[in-house]
Amino acid sequence: MEVKESIIRTEYSEIMQKSFIDYAMSVIISRALPDVRDGLKPVQRRTLYDMYELGIRYDRPYRKCARIVGDTMGKYHPHGDSSIYEALVVMAQEFKKGLPLLDGHGNFGSIEGDGAAAMRYTEARLQKITQEAYLADLDKDVVDFVPNFDETEKEPSVLPVKVPNLLVNGSEGIAVGMATSIPPHNLGEVIEGVKAYMKNPDITTEEMLSYIKGPDFPTGGIVVNKDELVSIYETGVGKIKVRGKVEVEKVKGGKERLVITEIPYPMIGANIGKFLNDIGALVETKKTNDIVDISNQSSKEGIRIVLELRKGCDVENLCNMLYKKTRLEDTFGVNMLAVADGRPETMGIVSVIRHHVNFQYELATRKYKNLLQKELDKKEIQEGLIKACDVIDLIIEILRGSKNIKDAKACLTTGQTENIRFKSRISQKQASLLRFTERQATAILEMRLYKLIGLEIEALMKEHEATLKNIAEYQEILENRGAMARVIIRELDRFKKEYAKPRKTQIENVEETVYEEKKPEATEVVVLMDRFGYAKTVDMATYERNREAADTEYKYQIRCMSDDKLCIFTDTGQQHLVKVQDLPFGKFRDKGVPLDNVSNYNSSAETMIAIRNLGSLPGTRLLFATGSGMLKQVEGGEFDVSKRTTAATKLAEGDVLLCVEPAEGVETIVLQTEKGMFLRFALSDVPEKKKGAIGVRGIRLADKDRVEAVYLLGEHEERTITYKEKEIALHRLRIGNRDTKGVKK
The domain that holds 724 is classified in CATH as 2.120.10.90
Query: Domain end: 327, 342, 366, which one?
Result: 327
* pLDDT at res. 43: 95
Rounded Cα distance between 108 and 117, Å, is: 6
Asked if pLDDT for residue 353 goes beyond 90, the answer is yes
Task: Indicate if 600 and 632 belong to the same structural domain.
Answer: no
CA atoms within 13 A on the CB side of 347: 23
Helix (H) or strand (E) holding 630: strand 630-635
Determine which one of 121, 134, 197, 450 is catalytic.
Answer: 121
* pLDDT at res. 552: 86
Task: Indicate if 359 and 494 belong to the same structural domain.
Answer: yes
Give φ, ψ of 509 to 5 degrees.
-105, 115
Chain centroid, CA 486 distance in Å: 38
Between 415 and 548, the more confident residue is 548
Can 121 be counted among the known catalytic residues? yes
Asked if pLDDT for residue 166 goes beyond 80, the answer is yes
User: If we measure between CA atoms, which residue out of 470, 342, 257, 303 comes closest to residue 26?
Assistant: 342
What secondary structure letter does DSSP report for 520? P
Query: Domain end: 286, 309, 327, which one?
Result: 327
Secondary structure tally for the chain: helices H, strands E = 20, 35
Asked if pLDDT for residue 1 goes beyond 60, the answer is no
- What CATH number corresponds to the domain at position 271? 3.30.1360.40
Q: Which sign does the torsion angle of CA 41, 45, 46, 47 carry?
A: positive
Asked if pLDDT for residue 247 goes beyond 60, the answer is yes
Asked if pLDDT for residue 455 goes beyond 70, the answer is no
- What CATH number corresponds to the domain at position 71? 3.90.199.10
CA atoms within 13 A on the CB side of 62: 15
* Confidence label for 312 from pLDDT (cuts 50, 70 and 90): confident
Rounded Cα distance between 651 and 572, Å, is: 8
Task: Indicate if 547 and 480 belong to the same structural domain.
Answer: no
With respect to residue 707, please indicate whether it lies within any of the assigned structural domains. Answer: yes
Chain centroid, CA 647 distance in Å: 38
User: If we measure between CA atoms, which residue out of 121, 129, 108 comes closest to residue 58?
Assistant: 129
Task: Indicate if 480 and 364 belong to the same structural domain.
Answer: yes
* pLDDT at res. 506: 94
Asked if pLDDT for residue 68 goes beyond 80, the answer is yes
Task: Indicate if 551 and 611 belong to the same structural domain.
Answer: yes
Task: Indicate if 609 and 627 belong to the same structural domain.
Answer: no
Give the CA distances from residue 541 to residues 225, 237, 554, 588, 591, in Å, rounded to whole numbers and listed in that order: 51, 57, 17, 11, 18
Query: Domain end: 278, 307, 327, which one?
Result: 327
Chain centroid, CA 648 distance in Å: 41
Q: Please calculate the CA angle 364-366-370 and round it to the nearest 5 degrees.
A: 115
With respect to residue 196, please indicate whether it lies within any of the assigned structural domains. Answer: no
* pLDDT at res. 452: 67
Task: Indicate if 596 and 625 belong to the same structural domain.
Answer: no
Dihedral angle, C-alpha 174, 175, 181, 186, nearest 10 °: -110
Task: Indicate if 367 and 493 belong to the same structural domain.
Answer: yes
Mean residue pLDDT of the chain comes to 89
What secondary structure letter does DSSP report for 585? B
88 contacts 47 by C-beta, under 8 angstroms: yes
With respect to residue 337, please indicate whether it lies within any of the assigned structural domains. Answer: no
Q: Please, which residues have CB within 8 angstroms of residue 422's CB and are 6 or more apart in sequence?
A: 397, 398, 401, 428, 431
* Confidence label for 480 from pLDDT (cuts 50, 70 and 90): very high
Helices (H), 33-141: 42-54, 65-75, 81-92, 128-133
- Domain, as residue range, for 300: 245-327
| Number of domain units in the chain | 5
With respect to residue 342, please indicate whether it lies within any of the assigned structural domains. Answer: no
User: In 85-230, at which residue ranges do the beta strands (DSSP E only) sit?
Assistant: 102-105, 123-126, 145-147, 154-156, 171-174, 179-182, 222-223
Read off the pLDDT of residues 354-376 as tens digits, 9 standing for 90 and up: 999 999 999 999 999 999 999 99
With respect to residue 25, please indicate whether it lies within any of the assigned structural domains. Answer: no
- What CATH number corresponds to the domain at position 468? 1.10.268.10
Predicted structure pTM score: 0.72
Task: Indicate if 529 and 488 belong to the same structural domain.
Answer: no
* pLDDT at res. 8: 75
Task: Indicate if 492 and 362 belong to the same structural domain.
Answer: yes
User: If we measure between CA atoms, which residue out of 733, 677, 682, 664 comes closest to residue 704?
Assistant: 677
With respect to residue 11, please indicate whether it lies within any of the assigned structural domains. Answer: no
Task: Indicate if 610 and 628 belong to the same structural domain.
Answer: no
Rounded Cα distance between 293 and 344, Å, is: 49
With respect to residue 344, please indicate whether it lies within any of the assigned structural domains. Answer: no
Read off the pLDDT of residues 269-309 as tens digits, 9 standing for 90 and up: 888 889 999 998 888 877 888 888 999 998 888 899 999 99
* Confidence label for 243 from pLDDT (cuts 50, 70 and 90): very high
Asked if pLDDT for residue 517 goes beyond 70, the answer is no
Task: Indicate if 370 and 304 belong to the same structural domain.
Answer: no
With respect to residue 206, please indicate whether it lies within any of the assigned structural domains. Answer: no
Q: Please calculate the CA angle 271-276-280 and round it to the nearest 5 degrees.
A: 140
Asked if pLDDT for residue 397 goes beyond 90, the answer is no
User: If we measure between CA atoms, which residue out of 639, 635, 604 comes closest to residue 620?
Assistant: 635
Read off the pLDDT of residues 280-289 as tens digits, 9 standing for 90 and up: 888 887 788 8
Side chain identity at residue 353, one-letter code: I
Q: How far apart are the first and last CA of the chain?
A: 90
Rounded Cα distance between 664 and 619, Å, is: 10
Between 584 and 27, the more confident residue is 584
Mean pLDDT is lowest, of 21-30, 168-177, 270-279, for: 21-30
